[in-house]
Amino acid sequence: MSAGLCPVSAGSLPVRTRAAAAATRAVNGLSRRARAGHGTVAGGRVGLALDPLLLERLAAGRPTALVSGTNGKTTTTRLLAVAIEGALGPAAINATGSNMPAGHVTALAAAPPGAPAVLEVDEGYLPRLIATLGPEVVVLLNLSRDQLDRTSEVRMVASKWRRALAASPATVPVANADDPLVVWAASGAAKPVWVGAGLSWREDAVGCPSCEGRIGFAAGEDGGWACRCGFSRPPLDVRIDGDDVVLAGGRRLRVALALPGRFNRANAVMAAAAAAAMGAGWEDAVRRVGEVDEVAGRFAVVGVAGCAARLMLAKNPAGWRELLDLVCPGERPVVVGINARVADGRDPSWLWDVPFERLRGRTVVATGERCRDLAVRLRYAEVPHRTVRDEVAAVRAAWMAGRGAAAAGPGARRAPAPVAASSAASSEGQVDFIGNYTAFTDLMARATRTGA
């Protein structure tokens, strides 16, 4: 650890900052007890009103990493906090969804002085946080379109990241080299760490951010890319090779993950690379991230009205594509849930950018407040489905349908299919649920209460 990062005592903070931090904790405590919220944002707002410099002051003297990107922020933030725990101790980390300054203040006010901070940051807020906090490390995952009725254009976001990083030379970006927009943002920095983390959604990345020409991608997910102007994928410092991670010097480590999916492997490797940049050992970081088996309810198997459901969250076409890759091929019934509240984006037209055709042949139930939009999408994808607006009832319906004929006679259980006999024991009666933000959080809240 460098000298500038030694822990400071609370006594070195100005009185106003100490008072504001105390108010943050008090309001959050009250709001938790009153069940008015999760107690993550209200206190932070009060604290920032009392001391506008609260965030900088609370962050001063801590090893700090910021994590941003369209998809994987929450998971990677958690994985990075776990990865550095051995080297730096428990980290201050913001609760899921509270990825703007009030949420960051809340996280830091609750942490002991000098504890490291790993903060998930909204893409739009990242430049401001880089400027005010001057973090050691910034993890840049990917950039693609998110909520359509927001007006931030992904290219503009990349340019703002680029300017902020160029103005913060001590900050090390740990950047996904497979995403041209991320590379554009990070290549202005002094010493980026390039990770070949993959990119399955390229629709937002074909236009060259350097010359407006077209970027060509090599065949296959792990291929490089280049534009005629010379802008191309930089040489990798870290790459993924099957189950292994390979470092620039040729060192190879096995990454055994409890979390499923290619994208979680990418998140884990990004987290381990960031941890290494913060001083953790690669081996220790990789071992620790491997043990994480759920993040804020994602991928958790929960009880819903007596059925076992694996909960997954996808907020945009790129995220949906990743999760459809994960559940297909497979044979579990799939419940897809869509809401269109402010937090989800109010226009669900992006459903037509999701290849739901892949669900053909599966038992599919459409649910959520916008289940009718989803039903029409599935009709044109020629995916037979049922539409059940209530999410719990939808999981129940899918589970019953998945048991097929066995549901006719009570107690007449039957293995789902002979081909997957070995995995059937663990997945029998399980339903995969994929929802967008509030559809996911609503079902998670109800599942916890059910406690089945």
Binding other proteins by CB under 8 A: which of 5, 22, 300, 376?
A: 376
* Rounded least distance, CB 187 to Zn ion, Å: 12
Residue 372 interacts, among Zn ion, other proteins, none and using kind-specific CB cut-offs from 5 to 8 Å, with other proteins
Q: According to CB under 8 A, which one of 145, 288, 362, 403 is a site residue for other proteins?
A: 145
- Residue 346 interacts, among other proteins, Zn ion, none and using kind-specific CB cut-offs from 5 to 8 Å, with other proteins
Q: Residue from 213, 223, 235, 384 that binds Zn ion (CB under 5 A)?
A: 213
Instruction: Number of residues interacting with other proteins: please give it, by CB under 8 A.
Output: 27
**DSSP state for residue 357 in the 8-state scheme:** G
Q: Which of 206, 253, 301, 424 binds other proteins (CB under 8 A)?
A: 206
Q: Which is nearer to other proteins, 149 or 291 (CB)?
A: 149
**Angle in degrees, 0-180, between the axes of helices 15-33 and 101-109, rounded to the nearest 10:** 100
* Residue 294 vs 347, nearer CB to other proteins: 347
Residue 243 near which of other proteins, Zn ion, none (CB within 5-8 Å, type-dependent): none
Name the minimum Å distance from CB 226 to other proteins.
Answer: 15
Asked whether position 212 contacts other proteins by CB under 8 A, the answer is yes
* Pattern 130-169, Zn ion, x by CB under 5 A: ----------------------------------------
Out of 120, 331, 373, 391, the residue judged to bind other proteins by CB under 8 A: 373
Tell which residue, 120, 119, 193, 131, has the closest CA to residue 164: 131
SS3 125: coil
CA–CA distance, 383 with 37 (Å, rounded to integer): 38
Nearest distance from residue 357's CB to other proteins, in Å? 10
For residue 216, the minimal CB distance to Zn ion (Å) is 10
Phi-psi region of 232 (alpha: psi -120 to 50; beta: other; left: phi over 0): beta
- Report if residue 210 touches Zn ion, rule: CB under 5 A: yes
Tokens of 328: 């297909």
* Tokens at 388, concatenated: 């059940």
Q: How many CB atoms lie within 10 A of CB 152?
A: 14
Beta-carbon count within 10 A of 66 CB:
28
201 vs 54: CA distance, rounded Å: 38
For position 422 contacting other proteins by CB under 8 A, the verdict is no
Which of other proteins, Zn ion, none does residue 5 bind to, with CB < 5 to 8 Å depending on kind?
none
Name the percent of the chain in helix, strand, coil, to the closest 5. Answer: 40, 15, 40
3-state secondary structure of 29: helix
Shortest Å, Cβ 331 to other proteins: 25
Q: Are strands 301-304 and 307-313 parallel, antiparallel or unpaired?
A: antiparallel
Pick from Zn ion, other proteins, none: which does 208 bind, CB < 5 to 8 A by kind? Answer: Zn ion
Phi-psi region of 305 (alpha: psi -120 to 50; beta: other; left: phi over 0): left
**Site residues for other proteins, window 338-357 (CB under 8 A)?**
346-347, 349-353
- Binding piece for other proteins, criterion CB under 8 A, among 60-68, 73-81, 141-149, 274-282: 141-149
Q: Does 387 bind other proteins (CB under 8 A)?
A: yes
Cα separations (Å) of 88 from 7, 60, 108, 255, 434?
Answer: 11, 16, 16, 21, 35
Which CB sits closer to other proteins, 32 or 202?
Answer: 202
Q: In what order do the strands lie in the sheet with 301-304?
A: 301-304, 307-313, 430-435, 334-337, 364-367, 386-387
CA–CA dist 245, 373 (Å, integer): 41
Residue 155 touching other proteins (CB under 8 A) = yes
- Comparing CB distances to Zn ion, the nearer of 36 and 218 is 218
**Mapping DSSP to helix (H, G, I), strand (E, B) and coil, where does residue 394 land?**
helix
Output the six-digit token pair for 245.
């991670």
| Site residues for other proteins per CB under 8 A | 145, 148-149, 151, 153, 155, 203, 206-207, 212, 214, 346-347, 349-353, 372-373, 375-377, 379-380, 382, 387
